Amino acid sequence: MYSNTLRLTVRHDETNPSGIILSVVAAVYSQRYERAAQLAFVEDGVRAAAGVGISEVEVPGWPPLRDLIDEVNARGMIAFACANCAAERDVRRESPIGGLEWVPYSDVRLPLHGCGPIVSSAARLTLVTTEEQHADQRAFDALVGRVTVGADRGVD
């Protein structure tokens, strides 16, 4: 993935049509206008990735999901879907999206993606003071030999 690739997450299934449509529309429109886009299907979104109920997903004012999937395929877009989320939901790992790859939860790397082994929030989130953040940034700047983006511009 290039640094300017737009990755959209689909977390919803056919029970929340706008949740699917908006992400897929954004990816398609981005790709239309020459900015690479990818789709990442997690949680209930894996049902959409597998094609479950996509023929019925329509939101007034937007193209039907089936048409958007056709355009995703025509543009050769890359998509990923969480295999663990699919297994938890008994979703078959098949897809109408040609460029879709089923990957383990550890390869998805999305914030708040609750799939996989349970990790306590204390293990994921560590509260640090601004002084600690500034010290880490100054240490990094010293390591690379210059002031970097996000560096502490203030005084100690």
pLDDT at residue 151 in the model: 52
Helix, strand, coil percentages in the chain from 3-state DSSP, rounded to 5: 40, 10, 45
Per-residue pLDDT, 121 = 47
> What's the pLDDT at 125?
53
Domains and CATH numbers, the chain: 6-116 (3.40.1260.10), 126-156 (no CATH)
Q: Which residues of the chain have pLDDT under 50?
A: 1-2, 118-123, 156
Q: Is the pTM of this model over 0.75?
A: no
Rounded distance between C-alpha atoms, residue 86 and residue 7, angstroms: 20
Look at residue 143 in the predicted model and tell me its pLDDT. 82
What is the predicted pLDDT for the residue at 120? Answer: 46
Burial state string for 41-61 with b = 16 or more CB within 10 A and e = fewer than 16: bbbbbbbbbbbbebeebeeee
pLDDT computed for residue 122 by the predictor: 47
CA distance 53 to 144: 51
- What digits encode the pLDDT tens for the residues 119-136? 444 445 566 787 887 887
Beta-bridged to residue 75, according to DSSP, are: none
| Nearest CA among 49, 55, 24, 52 for reference residue 37 | 24
Task: Tell me how far apart the terminal alpha carbons of the chain are, to the nearest angstrom.
Answer: 38
Q: What does the mean pLDDT of the chain come to?
A: 83
